[in-house]
Amino acid sequence: MAEVLLFHHALGLTEAIGAFADGLRRSGHTVHVPDLYEGRTFANLEAGAAYAQEVGFDVLTERGEKAAEGLPEKLVYAGFSLGVLPAQKLAQTRAGALGALLFSACVPVSAFGAAWPVGVPVQVHAMDADPYFVGDGDLDAARELVAGAGDRELFLYPGSSHLFAERGTASYDAAAAGPCVERVLGFLGGLTV
């Protein structure tokens, strides 16, 4: 089974993130879920994003890197929205990454000063009309990341919800979340640890 380091989104370490992690654990995976917001949670993306800007995206990414210290090199890095920043950076720059799972966001590979490592598979999951994912350039970055690589996949689901895969949230979309989770579990189950 895989060991996963999962980073939360701009709402903070919510019950929905914990429930997603628990679902992976029930399938036999080890999941670490650090709190980049040090106990704070927010009811809406705007307030959470404002807090993230106040703290600084570099600081939050550094907190994610510190969360990886002391953990094995052979990790799958996963992130929801804002959490994609540390997840993608670690997958690209920390030796031994097993893979990456990026939900509702993707950063241009060039942002971290290193090419995507050969042999590190990735799945990007998002909704095809998510205004943040499509409008902020994440879709273009995801298409660039997966272009020409058989072990890198982009899955687009019909709809406009940003945080669609978290049961118990207002933006949860069961029709998209079901296949998303199924693909994630297949991805994790197929990794050689």
When computed from its CA atoms, the radius of gyration of the chain, rounded to whole angstroms, is: 15
**Amino acid 167: pLDDT:** 85
Query: For the chain, what are the domain ranges?
Result: 3-189
**Amino acid 52: pLDDT:** 97
Alpha-carbon gap, residue 190 to 172, rounded angstroms: 26
Percentage of the chain with pLDDT > 90? 92
pLDDT in tens, 73-90: 999 999 999 999 999 999
**Amino acid 192: pLDDT:** 75
Please state, rounded to an integer, the average pLDDT across all residues of the chain.
Answer: 95
pLDDT in tens, 145-188: 999 888 999 999 999 999 999 887 889 999 999 999 999 999 99
Give 49's contacts (C-beta < 8 A, 6+ positions apart): 10, 82
Question: For domain 3-189, which CATH number applies: 3.40.50.300, 3.30.565.10, 3.30.450.20, 3.40.50.1820?
Answer: 3.40.50.1820
**Amino acid 58: pLDDT:** 96
